[in-house]
Structure 1
């Protein structure tokens, strides 16, 4: 199957966003994909903020993006947009780093007022980076994500079903694209 980079743009060590991504990673792994988690907050701040393209951690992050067939991008919504931390990493990636990749944008936030952040803030930047296919994203309310004592998460029933559906659509989209097959013939 495919290699998937699961990218969390949350600056918080106790992030619901990151924990939700790790929960969804398990579903993708069960479907046969190799999932590589990357929490942007673990990258050195000096490298991110100083735009140190040659820093080993940034070089490694670029390599992970390059090697992935698909990328799940998760972010909390702040001020109606994706996190600045996520933006810092995206700015250090090559202009067309997502060329040929299938991308699943996910966001979390405290209010349904932020639902459109995926389509109006995150999707355009992912598209400008050359993503070949951006599947339908999903916004999950913070109140629908409960962190369990073991560090796992429980997602409210309606939100869980919707997330499973978008993850399954992403998983299916990771297969060969008809246009790629036609070009190879």
Structure 2
């Protein structure tokens, strides 16, 4: 059976990345896949900062990744790179913790000037963790995510279409899954 884990690397509770996260979750659940979610900001800060590899909570989250076929890694762009919170968690994954998994990176940034962040900043770290099947990824501009209030967001049509297309490509690579439709 295929398993999907989504890692959200935003340090903020109120972030446009939540609009993308909810869009991915809605699309996957709409096609019968219930993903595991790792919100790094909710992990014990002392375990992350002190690199406590033996932390029960870190071990529990790493098991989600270990048992997944597809790992969706989401991050805001800060200083032309992925978030430090995400890097701190990735440092706690086992050396080859992403080996044999399909990885779909998704980034949200303020300008197309950060478009290559996925290729030049995030993908090398993922490869160092054993990932060999890293998909093209999705870059979404902040301006493509509208605020609705109460920490709810909505993606514009163009961003939504690119996101659905990338998720469908990722799903097509899962064992035993057929791909059709758009639920996002």
Scaled by the length of structure 2, the TM-score of the pair is 0.90
User: Which shifted more, 44-53 or 22-31?
Assistant: 22-31
Which sections of structure 1, spanning at least 5 residues, go unmatched?
177-185
Following TM superposition, where does structure 1 have runs of at least 4 consecutive aligned residues deviating by more than 2 angstroms? Answer: 147-153
The answer to whether the 8 Å contact 1:2/1:34 transfers is no
Provide the C-alpha distance between the structure 2 equivalents of 1:172 and 1:32, rounded to a whole number of angstroms: 14
Q: Which residue of 2 aligns with 1:24?
A: 24
Greater relative CO, 1 or 2 (CA 8 Å, sep 6+): 2
* Alpha-carbon separation, structure 2, partners of 1:136 and 1:8: 18
CA contact 2:14–2:151 (8 Å) conserved in 1? no
Partner of 1:63: 63
What per-residue deviation string (whole Å, max 9, x for no partner) do you get for residues 71-115 of structure 1?
000000111110000000000111100111111000001111100
Give the whole-Å Cα distance in 2 for the aligned partners of 1:41 and 1:163.
Answer: 23
2:85 pairs with 1:85: yes
Give CA deviations for 1:13-45 in whole Å, capped at 9, x if unaligned: 012113311211111122222201111000011
Tell me, yes or no, if the aligned pair for 1:110 and 1:143 is still in contact at 8 Å: yes
Equivalence map 1:88-127=2 (5 Å): 88-127=88-127
Measured on the aligned residues, the alpha-carbon RMSD in Å equals 1.4
Cα separation, 2, equivalents of 1:22 and 1:61? 19
TM-superposed CA distance for 1:139, in Å, is: 0.5
Q: Contact 1:73–1:104 at 8 Å: present in 2 too?
A: yes
Contact 2:19/2:145 (8 A) holds in 1: no
Q: CA deviation at 1:131?
A: 1.8
Task: Judging by fraction of residues, say which structure has more helix.
Answer: 1
Q: Which moved more, 1:129-138 or 1:48-57?
A: 129-138
- Contact kept? 1:18, 1:39, Cα under 8 Å: no
Whether the 8 Å CA contact 1:99–1:131 is kept in 2: the answer is yes
- How many residues are paired up? 176
| 1:154 lines up with 2:154 in the alignment | yes
3-state secondary structure, aligned to 2:82 = coil
Summarize deviations over 1:102-137 as a string: whole Å, max 9, x none: 110000011111000001111111122112411120
